[in-house]
Structure 1
Amino acid sequence: MASTPILVGEKQPVDIAVLPPLDVTRPPPQKTNAVFDALLQTYTAFQERRESLQLPQPGSVDNIAAEVQRSVFLTNQTFSGLRAELNKSFSIYPLFQISHAFSAGSQQLSPYTFLALYGTNSILAQAQLDSDASFSARFNARPHSRLTLKHSLQIQPSSGMSPGGAQLSVEQDYVGDDFTASLKSINPSILENGLTGMFIGSYLQAVTPRFSLGMEGVYQKPGGGMGPEAALSYAARYKGDDWIGSLQLLTQGGLQGSYWRRLTDKVETGVDVNLQFAGLSGAAMMGGARKEGTATLGAKYEFSRSIFRAQVDSQGKIGCLLDKSIVPPVRITFAGEMDHAKNSAKLGLAVSIEATGEELMEQQDRITPASPPF
């Protein structure tokens, strides 16, 4: 069907058929000035191009090597001596749980520890009190699906082995569709001639569906009239089909690389290499130049009712951890470590009992458990 021309004032007739369709859901922006319009058009075109790439969420710089450091390696999991834990859950949603832990023959663990945890889908509150009067607390909140607030407090009393002290950490994470921005401050204060403390800012951006780039800056100003110190690091992460590689480079000369690979559905391996160059690596922030390098190799095996982890490093240290579920409420953990360079060995055995009532077991079938912002 032929289109009908119309006259606009004294101008030439305009053909309606060639006019672009008007998107009523997104009307065109109002014209202001040439400079602002050019910037707005450039930004809009960039955002449309960015959305068309459908880039994934890359995680954060702090967790860029989490598959190796937290899943495969024995980081913060090894212990020595005997340990017994009694856990009692009162509710699934909201999540409410208390724990009593007893230990003996360990220099790192207190003889008795009491822990209480409360969590919903938007709030996590956790407190821990040891028999030596040390106290730690954590409070996480998720006011928005993209924003997470993390706060922690640690108080250590003075003793013959330690002068004691306190540490406050405040962290904010903003998670976008294809990036993560974080800001963390440790012991911030304005009482000592200006702003003091340590401040860490990081940003990780997905560049392609598999490759991400990021950077992290650290600014530290101690009290007592000391001058400020700063450091900058760069990070890269590549995710393959069944492997992940990450690399972090410090401007002072430090280099850390990690490689994680899933061999089978139940077997994972990881390699971590940390190099510190002489005269450069953190000389300002760590108290002097040093030259060292460490390589660590680890593996994780998941069986039907147990998990076994083992690792060995270039400094002659070998460690293993076996976590086995005997029956659903009883779990046994065995930890062993041997340091050939220091000619020392550590052994640990822990028994954990989960005291769950019948009412709570019935709730698990009809109530979705809470997923607090850990």
Structure 2
Amino acid sequence: MAAVPITLGEKQPIPIDTTATLPPLDVTRPPPQRTNAVLDTVLDTYHAFQDRRAALGLSNPGTVDNIAAEVQRSVFLTNQTFSGLRAELNKSFSIYPLFQISHAFSAGSQLLSPYTFLALYGTNNILCQAQLDSDASFSARFNARLHPRLTLKHSMQIQPPSGMGPGGAQVSLEQDYTGDDFTASLKSINPSLLEGGLTGMFIGSYLQAITPRLSIGMEGVLQKPGGGMGPEAAISYAARYKGEDWIASAQLLTQGGLQGSYWRKLTDKVETGVDVNLQFTGLSGANAMMGGARKEGTATLGAKYEFSRSIFRAQVDSQGKIGCLLDKVIAPPVRVTFAGEMDHVKNSAKLGLAVSIEASGEDLMEQQDKISPASPPF
């Protein structure tokens, strides 16, 4: 029997668990140095609040202005319906930077000018757009993304006097700050210091995400007309709730107004929306001679159908107005749009037909394969 050698006095190695990991070290925010008891308490409270806020996984809720964009801009015919005949010729010269011009001709419409020229230039941080009509009306827009969170949006409109109105000019200056879970906006319309003080209309809004689904905010409007008249102010409160396939929003005006919207995606190609607008006039007592408080309301129901090469929208409201719009792509460069509207109360009807042609050369097609298109701050 062979003897087994035994070594005395040698320490056996201690097993080490290589699978264990240490907690990650946050190098982006090192622990603050302790300097003052009061300041340290404030900083600890602030950091604890930020940690709890980040743990909720909140996302940016958008702006108060676009709180019902899914209904107002996607489903409804807002700013899309027209009457008469219209033809558009669009020419794109480059996709980065984005540069294109458009010629539009219309007939049989009291709202559209016979001829409109539009030019657009944009990069990832700048958008410049100008429009000139044959009746000498001019509008321009300039947007600049100074920072991934800060965007400036400026616009100007000049309308000459005509039989439809006296004309005028309007300047709008807007600044949007986009945070991780909130958006703050400040907008001023026709600000001026030429009448002995600050005049114009000023709008400030703030929308904050409370949970991954719920967002609440408020909007304040201050109007200071000229001529020694006193300022007027109004405050509205807004809320938005986002479900799995539906979104509900509401806005409450302190002077007597309520607007609620509901959007739902029925299928991959079908969307529907409902908007209710209630106005309570006479609640402030300013028009007591008119017979006291009155209630006025409008309800609108709309639907949107997306087909392979066409989009159909239809809506009807409680005031007896029904409308529809069909946008169909005949071929990749040709698009035809049909719009119709009937008002049963006024016993009137409008029809519109538009043809849009997109002209792009072979060099532009080659750019699309090699260069990513620009995404201006619209």
What CA distance in whole angstroms lies between the structure 2 residues aligned with 1:258 and 1:140? 29
Q: 1:150 to 1:35 in 2, by over 3 A?
A: same
The question of 1:118 aligning with 2:115 is answered no
What CA distance in whole angstroms lies between the structure 1 residues aligned with 2:36 and 2:60? 36
Normalising by structure 2, report the TM-score.
0.90
Q: Which aligned pairs between 1:92-107 and structure 2 lie closer than 5 A? A: 92-107=95-110
What displacement does 1:289 show? 7.1
Q: Which aligned pairs between 1:74-223 and structure 2 lie closer than 5 A? A: 74-223=77-226
What CA distance in whole angstroms lies between the structure 2 residues aligned with 1:28 and 1:242? 42
What displacement does 1:367 show? 1.2
Q: 1:143 to 1:161 in 2, by over 3 A?
A: same
Once the two structures are superposed, what CA deviation does each residue of 1:273-332 show, in whole Å capped at 9, x if it has no partner? 000113238979xxx975310000000000000000000000000000000000000000
What CA distance in whole angstroms lies between the structure 1 residues aligned with 2:36 and 2:294? 57
Q: Which of the numbers 299, 309, 315 marks the counterpart of 2:313?
A: 309
Task: Look up the equivalent residue of 2:316 and give its one-letter code.
Answer: V
What CA distance in whole angstroms lies between the structure 2 residues aligned with 1:26 and 1:216? 34
| Other structure's SS at 1:365 match | helix
How many residues were matched structurally? Answer: 352
Q: Which of the numbers 296, 299, 304 marks the counterpart of 2:303?
A: 299
What CA distance in whole angstroms lies between the structure 2 residues aligned with 1:336 and 1:41? 61
What CA distance in whole angstroms lies between the structure 1 residues aligned with 2:314 and 2:74? 11
1:262 equivalent in structure 2? 265
What displacement does 1:365 show? 1.6
Q: Which of the numbers 244, 248, 256 marks the counterpart of 2:251?
A: 248
The question of 1:371 aligning with 2:378 is answered no
Normalising by structure 1, report the TM-score.
0.91
What CA distance in whole angstroms lies between the structure 1 residues aligned with 2:199 and 2:236? 21
Q: Which has the larger radius of gyration?
A: 2
What is the RMSD computed on CA atoms of the aligned residues? 1.8
Gaps of 5+ in 2: 1-22
Q: 1:103 to 1:240 in 2, by over 3 A?
A: same
The question of 1:341 aligning with 2:309 is answered no
What CA distance in whole angstroms lies between the structure 2 residues aligned with 1:367 and 1:290? 58
Once the two structures are superposed, what CA deviation does each residue of 1:312-367 show, in whole Å capped at 9, x if it has no partner? 00000000000000000000000000000000000000000001111111211221
Q: Which of the numbers 315, 319, 325 marks the counterpart of 2:323?
A: 319
What CA distance in whole angstroms lies between the structure 2 residues aligned with 1:318 and 1:183? 36
Gaps of 5+ in 1: 1-19
Once the two structures are superposed, what CA deviation does each residue of 1:28-64 show, in whole Å capped at 9, x if it has no partner? 3233433322222111110111011111111111000
What CA distance in whole angstroms lies between the structure 2 residues aligned with 1:150 and 1:282? 38
Task: Look up the equivalent residue of 1:252 and give its one-letter code.
Answer: Q
Once the two structures are superposed, what CA deviation does each residue of 1:135-167 show, in whole Å capped at 9, x if it has no partner? 000000101111110000000011232111100
Task: Look up the equivalent residue of 1:372 and give its one-letter code.
Answer: P
Task: Look up the equivalent residue of 2:255 and give its one-letter code.
Answer: Q
Task: Look up the equivalent residue of 2:128 and give its one-letter code.
Answer: A
- Quick one: percent identity of the two aligned structures? 87
What CA distance in whole angstroms lies between the structure 2 residues aligned with 1:21 and 1:84? 62
Q: 1:275 to 1:328 in 2, by over 3 A?
A: same
What displacement does 1:238 show? 0.4
Task: Look up the equivalent residue of 1:298 and give its one-letter code.
Answer: G
Task: Look up the equivalent residue of 2:351 and give its one-letter code.
Answer: L
2:59 equivalent in structure 1? 56
What displacement does 1:67 show? 0.1
| Other structure's SS at 1:47 match | helix
What CA distance in whole angstroms lies between the structure 2 residues aligned with 1:72 and 1:282? 37
2:6 equivalent in structure 1? none
